[in-house]
């Protein structure tokens, strides 16, 4: 029987010795497309927000369909209710893409507010149990609260932030794909 350290070393060796993929021109093209898409999103935030709103509507429809399929197998009326609710929300989102796009910052602010409160409570609980990492959660939660209040006060900040994050992610991911191509991996 192997000891724990040997098992961990074995797992790390497997991860570090993975074969590298062949150099493919598709990685370079994909990377360039991602970078260009990211730049486009940053300079065209309204278009990006509308596309995101349409995507979210489609996701809700798929979620609703999935919950209805689960209901067929489980006869759980909770799944039926979730399925119908998600289908209705998805159709409403797609039928009113402009309203969906406008409401996204508020939804994001509510999510950030909830996460901020949760992190503060968890940070306090960690402090009471003498966990030395409590300040990370506590102050992260305070930051989340401040950020959510800023979005509530200035929803356009949320819109700009959402699209900027999408754009930045696309650019970074594109650069990583280009680097992968250049390294031959």
3-state secondary structure of 116: helix
**Tokens at residue 167, please?**
């754009």
User: How far is 43 from 167, CA to CA, in rounded Å?
Assistant: 9
User: How far is 154 from 148, CA to CA, in rounded Å?
Assistant: 10
Instruction: Report pLDDT digits (tens) over 159-179.
Output: 778 788 888 988 988 898 888
**Tokens at residue 149, please?**
């209040």
pLDDT of 17 over the 70 cut: no
Q: What is the largest CA-CA distance in the chain?
A: 61
pLDDT at 3: 56
pLDDT at 142: 94
Instruction: Report pLDDT digits (tens) over 22-59.
Output: 667 888 898 899 899 999 988 988 888 888 888 888 98
pLDDT at 18: 39
User: How far is 52 from 62, CA to CA, in rounded Å?
Assistant: 15
Instruction: Report pLDDT digits (tens) over 95-114.
Output: 988 888 778 778 778 878 88
The percentage of the chain sitting over the pLDDT mark of 70, rounded to a whole number, equals 87
- Average pLDDT taken over every residue of the chain: 81
Helices (H) and strands (E) in the chain, counts: 7, 0
**Tokens at residue 88, please?**
């209705």
Domain residue spans of the chain: 27-183
Contact 94, 62 (CB under 8 A): no
Q: CB atoms < 10 A from the CB of 128, how many?
A: 9
Helix, strand, coil percentages for the chain (3-state, nearest 5): 90, 0, 10
């Amino acid at each position: 029987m192997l000891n724990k350290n040997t098992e961990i070393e074995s797992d790390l060796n497997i991860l570090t010795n993975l074969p590298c993929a062949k150099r493919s021109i598709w990685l370079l093209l994909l990377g360039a497309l991602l970078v260009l898409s990211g730049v486009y999103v940053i300079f065209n935030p309204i278009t990006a927000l509308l596309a995101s709103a349409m995507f979210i509507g489609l996701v809700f429809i798929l979620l609703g369909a999935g919950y209805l399929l689960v209901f067929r197998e489980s006869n759980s009326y909770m799944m039926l209710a979730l399925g119908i609710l998600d289908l209705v929300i998805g159709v409403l989102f797609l039928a009113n893409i402009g309203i969906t796009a406008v409401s996204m910052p508020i939804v994001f602010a509510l999510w950030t507010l909830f996460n901020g409160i949760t992190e503060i409570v968890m940070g306090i609980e960690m402090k009471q149990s003498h966990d030395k990492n409590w300040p990370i959660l506590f102050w992260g939660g305070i930051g989340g609260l401040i950020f959510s209040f800023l979005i509530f006060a200035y929803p356009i900040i949320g819109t700009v932030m959402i699209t900027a994050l999408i754009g930045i992610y696309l650019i970074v991911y594109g650069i990583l794909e280009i680097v992968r191509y250049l390294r031959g991996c």
